[in-house]
């Protein structure tokens, strides 16, 4: 990094007051108001560097490998002129395999969030007024306090990475506290899985569930494709078993996914068979399955007394009848599992099951996986399992009781927003008993109100770090930009404080290393470099790991199946019966919002929820049956009452919900996160997942939905067939009026001829799980603006790619199909003929080009597009980005002002970049060189882009597949995108 980074990119904005992008608006306005005087264009300055940094070439992107700390996923950071503009998955990294989820894609916007805390603050406890202080002053005061206070405790949310943990332990030892005074608390942490693993196999890990080896997957409430466990890796693996090729369609094999859940989750929507159960009943189903297998099928545990006594009472017929499942369902399922033993996988749990019986459920699942010999095949607990936080909730509640009894003198909160996550505990009063509270956060959030010092932390793209997500993978995190504001990383603060305190420092701290970077490097040299005795020098090992982003330790031994400790079954007490009468509340976490730490991210707030397509709000999901019973209609506001606590919130009538369950998304209702995220939705954490009362209030609130009609009206838009139909006839298609399936459609217009490449795309509806990563990836790549809730309410959202979610089949438990809908780049494009100013024309490479500076805004093209994929700038939406957010623009894509139509361009800037790279090397473009932003970030590789004229390209093969069809074929627009029919592994009743 250049040592005199003079931030010329920022001061261009403020010095002459007008950003370059205003030039167009000024020119437009000047044309209108020029009047008589002859106006020359405004004077602009061109400001070079003072010292030319050798690695920055203005106009050429630099890529750096780093890691997303919260998930441990390896990322590549694309930087232009010294600032990150886009994140993409690191294809080498096993947790990413090239893809990124929506919230990781959007985390680049958090770096430029103007509501980030810019300078450290000192809060006077009595008068609550804030004083902006310099870091030196803060350090003096803090070291002062550190030396005087005996018992120091650190509470963090997700501080991961060996070096950071080591630094924290050494810091605590230096100040006389032992290791376990560092406590981690995360509201959505799968604590029960770790505890169950410890009880069943004596190891505190989160096993690696390998879905790519599973022929049959049963999910008992685990949303493993969206939020449970490690969704990116799991979605990729699961989708590998869902890909079909029609050349061997007669005996095609397709994995089967069966879901038991009470809320309509993304995994449930992708399931072949889905059953509605009440939260907490998952345990009964697991035990009934176990009962059937142990008593009738497997001999292994048939004489083991503990097993028999535990499973005795859960007879399959009793449980099937209790759950209201089709008769003999559990027996059939157990038989299926037994036949596929060694190739099946059972997963369960999630936030909804965080009740008293959650550990019991996990133990039952471990038992089932062991009985079915899935150990070390689909469940890997030894070779490369996921590593976990070293201690869970019990430590946290012990810390709270210590604070209450006044045993804590100084508390450091590192990104732990406990006031928001645990409102019921009245932590505000409790934390007053701690003499000094230091809050290290990225913004002034809810918890930092009680702190005495609020210290701004770097964004992860500004900070060093390392992560150890799984046993074999050590992932490095390197900064891609010099810090934007006067922030300092948490690790640097600890180093400075130990140096200033002058006490005898432990371990590496003793060496008084100048910065956290040095500390990290030395730790890597000592721990990782030495222990794995790597051949080449440390320096080159360090550089190579930085280049690749991670280091993989190659373990010699093979995955060995672990022995299940049957004594752990004693923990399964008979679950207390849940009375049918009242309504049960359950939580779920949304794909985009997660635990609410990114609530101020406008892209994520405006990302439509995969199932309900609602943006900007959370809401109570109610089943149609329950809604009719309580006379609750669309857009109603209901009062959710639990004991004395009652809150008003909007409602979504969601098909597929259990008739006596209501669900509410966590991560909303934040009060101190920034202009964008404040007071959006309702804080679910203020409730408890037990029974609740729902009452209609008569008020109305219109939720900002992006899809208002949920059925295809039997039009030729989607095709979903069953596996047997596929085996009989690979190009079978249903859901369409036979009249409309005209094979060859005549046209009177001459065809475009393509001498060079002809760009096209194929989207496999069987692999698309509807996660929406492509929506946010496209938004980051193409400078797509955010329009806000009111504009989404009147259907003016700007996403170039939308995921249409169509229901079909049974009303209360519908089948779902996700269809990514984007510009189809038609051959006979209806938009090209009607645009009066030739703003949209057909290129010589099959692209339907949209020329922003030519468009005058008659919107005729939008009316004439049968797929309705064009978006119009009704306002100057680009002005919604203030101050530092203007650094997040992608400089290769024009920013559109109001009055301009825009649409998916198949990422022309990426096509052009690849063409220029090929021209430089005098080669031609190989298949796969060009990846559109959506294709690049898709976790299941559902989207394939390429040259249709090259018969060997992946896209040509897919388009030639018998399953390929085109949307609205008979309108004769000849779209360039082919969709592949969705094949469900079950019998479908058409009609």
Partner 1 sequence: MQVNTVYQPEILIQNNKTFSDVNNEVSVHTERFPTFKWWFCFLAATSAFLLGATLASIMFRDGLGVLGLNQPNGWGVFIVNFVFWIGIGHAGTLISAILFLFRQKWRTAINRSAEAMTIFAVMTALIFPVIHTGRPWYAIFWLIPYPNQRGLWVNFRSPLLWDVFAVGTYFTISLIFWYIGMIPDLASIRDRAKNGIRKFIYTVLSLGWRGSNKHWSHYEIAYMILAGLSTPLVLSVHSVVSFDFAVANLPGWHTTIFPPYFVAGAIFSGFAMVVTLLVIAREMFNLQSYITINHLEKMNKIIMATGMMVGYAYACEFFIAWYSGNPFEAYAFVNRAFGPYWWAYWTMASCNVLIPQIFWFKKARTSIPVMFVVALFVNIGMWFERFVITVTSLHRDFVPSSWAYYVPTWYDWGITLGSFGWFLMWFLLFCRFLPVIAMAEIKAIMPTETPHKEVHTNDSK
Partner 2 sequence: MVGKFLNLKLILVLLFTVFILVIISLGSIFPNASNQGYAPAQPIAFSHKIHAGTNKIGCIYCHTGAERSRHATVPALSICMNCHRVVGLDKPDIQKLLKNFQEKRPIEWIRVHELADYVYFPHKRHVKIGVACEICHGDVKNMDVIEQYAPLTMGWCIDCHRGITTPKQLLSRLKPKEDHYKEVGPTHCTACHN
Closest CA to 598 of 103, 114, 100: 103
For residues 945 and 757, give the distance between their C-alpha atoms in angstroms, rounded to a whole number: 12
Nearer to partner 1 among residue 32 and residue 50 (C-beta) = 32
Give the Cβ contact number of residue 681 at 10 Å: 24
For residues 934 and 943, give the distance between their C-alpha atoms in angstroms, rounded to a whole number: 7
What residues numbered 853-882 form the site for partner 1, per CB under 8 A? Answer: 854, 856-860, 862-864, 866-868, 871-876
Interface with partner 1 includes 379 (CB under 8 A)?
Answer: no
Closest CA to 374 of 516, 157, 515, 208: 208
Interface with partner 1 includes 709 (CB under 8 A)?
Answer: yes
Interface with partner 1 includes 742 (CB under 8 A)?
Answer: no
Among 59, 126, 580, 708, binds partner 1 (CB under 8 A): 708
For residues 933 and 905, give the distance between their C-alpha atoms in angstroms, rounded to a whole number: 11
Query: Torsions phi, psi of 58, nearest 5?
Result: -55, 125
Nearer to partner 2 among residue 713 and residue 751 (C-beta) = 751
Between 6 and 35, how does the x/- string for binding to partner 2 read (CB under 8 A)?
A: x-x------x----xx-xx--x--xxx-xx
For residues 769 and 235, give the distance between their C-alpha atoms in angstroms, rounded to a whole number: 8
Contact 290, 302 (CB under 8 A): no
Nearer to partner 2 among residue 580 and residue 916 (C-beta) = 916
* Residues sharing a CB contact under 8 Å with residue 573, sequence separation 6 or more, in sequence order: 357, 360
Interface with partner 2 includes 843 (CB under 8 A)?
Answer: yes
Interface with partner 1 includes 737 (CB under 8 A)?
Answer: yes
Nearer to partner 2 among residue 28 and residue 326 (C-beta) = 28
Contact 277, 320 (CB under 8 A): no
**Partner in contact with 726, chosen from partner 2, partner 1, none, beta carbon below 5 to 8 Å by kind:** none
Between 863 and 892, how does the x/- string for binding to partner 2 read (CB under 8 A)?
A: -----------------------------x
Q: How far is the CB of 472 from partner 2 (least distance, A)?
A: 39
**Partner in contact with 714, chosen from partner 2, partner 1, none, beta carbon below 5 to 8 Å by kind:** partner 1
Residues facing residue 915 across a β-bridge: none
Q: Answer left, alpha or beta for residue 191, where phi above 0 means left and psi between -120 and 50 means alpha.
A: alpha
Nearer to partner 2 among residue 58 and residue 633 (C-beta) = 58
What residues numbered 26-85 form the site for partner 1, per CB under 8 A? Answer: 28, 31-32
Q: Is 528 helix (H, G, I), strand (E, B) or coil?
A: helix
* Residues sharing a CB contact under 8 Å with residue 460, sequence separation 6 or more, in sequence order: 66, 68, 69, 107, 477
Q: Is 480 helix (H, G, I), strand (E, B) or coil?
A: coil
Interface with partner 2 includes 852 (CB under 8 A)?
Answer: yes
Among 1, 55, 58, 560, binds partner 2 (CB under 8 A): 58
Interface with partner 2 includes 43 (CB under 8 A)?
Answer: yes
Nearer to partner 2 among residue 24 and residue 308 (C-beta) = 24
**Partner in contact with 739, chosen from partner 2, partner 1, none, beta carbon below 5 to 8 Å by kind:** partner 1
For residues 80 and 83, give the distance between their C-alpha atoms in angstroms, rounded to a whole number: 5
Residues facing residue 621 across a β-bridge: 652, 663
**Partner in contact with 836, chosen from partner 1, partner 2, none, beta carbon below 5 to 8 Å by kind:** partner 1
User: Residue 928 to residues 75, 76, 862, 931, 953: CA-CA distances in angstroms?
Assistant: 20, 18, 31, 6, 8
Interface with partner 2 includes 1 (CB under 8 A)?
Answer: no
Interface with partner 2 includes 951 (CB under 8 A)?
Answer: no
**Partner in contact with 712, chosen from partner 1, partner 2, none, beta carbon below 5 to 8 Å by kind:** partner 1
DSSP states along 85-145: EEEEE-TTSTTTTT---HHHHHHHHHHT-TTS--S-EEE-TTT--EEE--HHHHHHHHHHH
Q: How far is the CB of 484 from partner 1 (least distance, A)?
A: 31
Query: Torsions phi, psi of 82, nearest 5?
Result: 80, 10
Among 240, 298, 712, 909, binds partner 1 (CB under 8 A): 712
Interface with partner 1 includes 620 (CB under 8 A)?
Answer: no
Stretch that binds partner 2, among 185-193, 197-205, 374-382, 841-849 (CB under 8 A): 841-849
Contact 641, 693 (CB under 8 A): yes
Nearer to partner 2 among residue 475 and residue 783 (C-beta) = 783
Structure tokens at 30: 């000047």
Among 552, 793, 854, 898, binds partner 2 (CB under 8 A): 854
Closest CA to 932 of 768, 778, 827, 825: 778
Contact 933, 775 (CB under 8 A): no
Interface with partner 1 includes 960 (CB under 8 A)?
Answer: no
- Binding-site size for partner 1 (CB under 8 A) equals 57
Residue owning tokens 């030395």: 522
- Binding-site size for partner 2 (CB under 8 A) equals 55
Contact 49, 57 (CB under 8 A): no
Interface with partner 1 includes 797 (CB under 8 A)?
Answer: yes
Q: How far is the CB of 36 from partner 2 (least distance, A)?
A: 6
**Partner in contact with 529, chosen from partner 2, partner 1, none, beta carbon below 5 to 8 Å by kind:** none
The binding site for partner 2 (CB under 8 A) comprises: 4, 6, 8, 15, 20-21, 23-24, 27, 30-32, 34-41, 43-52, 57-60, 841, 843-845, 847, 849, 851-854, 892-895, 905, 908-909, 912, 916, 919-920
The binding site for partner 1 (CB under 8 A) comprises: 28, 31-32, 707-715, 717, 737, 739-740, 791, 794-797, 802, 804-806, 819, 821, 830, 833-838, 854, 856-860, 862-864, 866-868, 871-876, 898-899, 967-968, 971
């Amino acid at each position: 990094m250049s040592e005199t980074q003079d931030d010329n990119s920022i001061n261009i904005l403020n010095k002459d007051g007008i950003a370059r992008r205003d030039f167009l608006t000024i020119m437009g306005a000047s044309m209108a108001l020029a009047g008589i005087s002859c106006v020359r264009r405004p004077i602009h300055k061109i400001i070079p560097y003072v010292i030319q940094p050798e690695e920055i070439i203005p106009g050429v992107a630099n890529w750096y490998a780093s890691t997303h700390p919260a998930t441990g996923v390896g990322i590549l950071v694309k930087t232009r002129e010294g600032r990150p503009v886009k994140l993409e998955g690191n294809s080498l990294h096993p947790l990413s395999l090239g893809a990124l989820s929506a919230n990781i894609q959007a985390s680049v916007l958090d770096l430029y969030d103007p509501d980030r805390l810019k300078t450290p603050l000192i809060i006077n406890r009595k008068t609550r007024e804030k004083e902006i202080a310099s870091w030196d002053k803060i350090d003096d005061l803090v070291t002062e306090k550190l030396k005087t206070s005996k018992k120091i405790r650190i509470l963090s949310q997700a501080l991961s990475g060996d070096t950071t943990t080591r630094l924290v332990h050494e810091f605590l030892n230096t100040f006389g506290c032992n290791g376990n005074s560092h406590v981690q608390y995360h509201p959505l942490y799968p604590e029960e899985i770790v505890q169950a693993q410890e009880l069943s196999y004596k190891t505190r890990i989160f096993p690696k569930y390998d879905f790519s080896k599973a022929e049959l997957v049963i999910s008992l409430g685990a949303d493993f494709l969206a939020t449970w466990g490690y969704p990116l890796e799991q979605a990729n693996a699961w989708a590998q078993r869902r890909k079909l090729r029609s050349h061997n369609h007669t005996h095609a094999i397709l994995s089967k996914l069966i879901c038991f859940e009470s809320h309509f989750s993304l995994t449930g929507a992708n399931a072949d068979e889905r059953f509605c159960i009440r939260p907490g009943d998952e345990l009964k189903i697991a035990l009934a399955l176990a009962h059937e297998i142990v008593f009738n099928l497997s001999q292994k545990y048939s004489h083991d007394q503990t097993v028999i006594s535990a499973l005795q009472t859960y007879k399959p017929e009793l449980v099937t009848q209790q759950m209201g499942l089709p008769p003999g369902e559990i027996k059939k399922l157990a038989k299926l599992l037994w036949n596929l033993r060694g190739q099946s996988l059972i997963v369960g749990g999630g936030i909804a099951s965080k009740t008293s019986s959650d550990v019991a459920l996990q133990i039952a699942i471990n038992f089932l996986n062991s009985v079915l010999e899935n150990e070390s095949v689909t469940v890997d607990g030894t070779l490369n399992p996921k590593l976990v936080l070293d201690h869970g909730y019990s430590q946290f509640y012990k810390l709270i009781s210590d604070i209450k009894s006044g045993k804590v003198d100084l508390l450091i909160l590192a990104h732990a927003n406990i006031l928001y996550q645990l409102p019921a505990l009245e932590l505000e009063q409790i934390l007053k008993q701690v003499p000094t509270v230091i809050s290290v956060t990225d913004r002034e959030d809810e918890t930092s109100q009680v702190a005495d010092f609020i210290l701004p932390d770097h964004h992860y793209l500004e900070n060093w770090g390392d992560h150890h997500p799984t046993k074999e993978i050590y992932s490095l995190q390197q900064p891609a930009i010099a810090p934007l504001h006067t922030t300092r990383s948490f690790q640097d603060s600890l180093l400075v404080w130990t140096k200033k305190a002058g006490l005898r420092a432990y371990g590496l701290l003793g060496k008084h290393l100048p910065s956290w970077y040095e500390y990290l490097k030395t730790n890597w040299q000592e721990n990782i470099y030495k222990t794995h005795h790597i051949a080449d020098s440390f320096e080159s090992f360090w550089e190579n790991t930085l280049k690749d982003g991670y280091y993989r330790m190659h373990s010699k031994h093979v995955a060995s199946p672990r022995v299940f400790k049957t004594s752990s079954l004693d923990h399964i007490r008979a679950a207390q019966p849940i009375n049918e009468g009242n309504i049960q509340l359950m939580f779920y976490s949304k794909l985009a919002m997660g635990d609410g730490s990114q609530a101020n991210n406008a892209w994520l707030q405006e990302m439509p929820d995969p199932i309900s397509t609602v943006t900007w709000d959370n809401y109570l999901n109610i089943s149609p049956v329950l809604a009719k019973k309580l006379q609750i209609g669309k857009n109603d506001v209901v009062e959710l009452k639990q004991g004395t606590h009652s809150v008003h919130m909007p409602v979504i009538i969601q098909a597929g919900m259990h008739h006596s369950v209501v669900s509410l998304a966590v991560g909303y209702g934040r009060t101190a996160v920034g202009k964008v995220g404040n007071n959006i939705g309702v804080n679910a954490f203020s409730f408890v997942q037990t029974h609740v009362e729902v009452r209609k209030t008569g008020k109305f609130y219109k939720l900002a939905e992006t899809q208002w009609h949920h059925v295809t009206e039997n039009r030729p838009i989607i095709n979903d067939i069953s596996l047997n139909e596929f085996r009989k006839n690979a190009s079978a298609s249903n859901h369409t009026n036979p009249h409309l399936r005209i094979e060859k459609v005549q046209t009177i217009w001459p065809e475009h001829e393509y001498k060079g490449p002809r760009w096209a795309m194929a989207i496999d509806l069987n692999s698309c799980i509807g996660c929406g990563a492509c929506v946010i990836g496209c938004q980051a790549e193409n400078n797509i603006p955010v329009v806000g809730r009111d504009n989404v309410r009147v259907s003016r959202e700007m996403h170039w790619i939308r995921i249409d979610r169509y229901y079909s089949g049974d009303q209360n438990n519908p089948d779902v199909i996700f269809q990514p809908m984007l510009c189809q780049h038609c051959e006979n494009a209806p938009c090209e003929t009607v645009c009066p100013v030739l703003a949209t024309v057909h290129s010589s490479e099959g692209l339907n080009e949209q020329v922003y500076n030519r468009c005058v805004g008659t919107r005729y093209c939008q009316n004439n597009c049968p797929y309705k994929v064009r978006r119009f700038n009704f306002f100057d939406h680009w002005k919604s980005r203030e101050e530092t957010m203007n650094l997040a623009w992608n400089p290769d894509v024009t920013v559109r002002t109001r009055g301009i139509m825009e649409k998916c361009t198949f990422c022309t800037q990426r096509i052009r970049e690849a063409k220029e790279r090929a021209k430089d090397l005098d080669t031609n473009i190989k298949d796969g060189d060009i990846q559109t932003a959506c294709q690049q970030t898709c976790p299941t590789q559902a989207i394939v882009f390429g040259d249709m004229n090259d018969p060997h390209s992946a896209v040509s093969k897919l388009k030639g597949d018998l399953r390929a069809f085109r949307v609205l074929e008979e309108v004769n627009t000849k779209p360039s995108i082919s969709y592949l029919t969705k094949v469900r592994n079950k019998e479908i009743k058409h009609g």
